[in-house]
Amino acid sequence: MERTNHIELKHFSYEHMDTLKTFELPEEQVQFTSLPTYYKEVAEGQYRIVILYRTEPVGFFLMHSTDRVKEYSDNPQAMLLTALSINQAKH
């Protein structure tokens, strides 16, 4: 496997939307996550994060700093990661 140092995490930008629309999930993962296009709008305390390989979006997740975090941690600095998807269309 090739090692890479070209992975970046970026806040969502509409420049990524065309690629995010092409994301596919394997059928067995659909019940556990959502595609990035489901999160066109987010609530306060939610942050859309795009995983880039070089400059191409290859993944997406949602970070929460909402009250939902309290279901999992009493750490006031904790955040919750949900909706992780890695584009299966490229495999």
pLDDT digits (tens, 9 = 90+) for 1-59: 566 678 999 999 999 999 999 998 888 888 888 888 888 889 999 999 999 998 999 99
Q: Give the side-chain half-sphere CA count within 13 A for 30.
A: 6
Determine, yes or no, domain membership for 2: no
Determine, yes or no, domain membership for 58: yes
Residue 67: which domain range? 7-90
Q: How many domains does the chain have?
A: 1
Determine, yes or no, domain membership for 49: yes
Determine, yes or no, domain membership for 32: yes
Determine, yes or no, domain membership for 65: yes
Determine the Cα–Cα distance for residues 67 and 87; give it in Å rounded to an integer: 29
Determine, yes or no, domain membership for 51: yes
Determine the Cα–Cα distance for residues 83 and 30; give it in Å rounded to an integer: 10
CB 39 within 8 A of CB 82: no
Determine, yes or no, domain membership for 14: yes
3-state helix, strand, coil in the chain (%, to 5): 25, 30, 45
Q: Among 3-7, 39-43, 62-66, 86-90, which range has the highest average pLDDT?
A: 62-66
Determine, yes or no, domain membership for 1: no
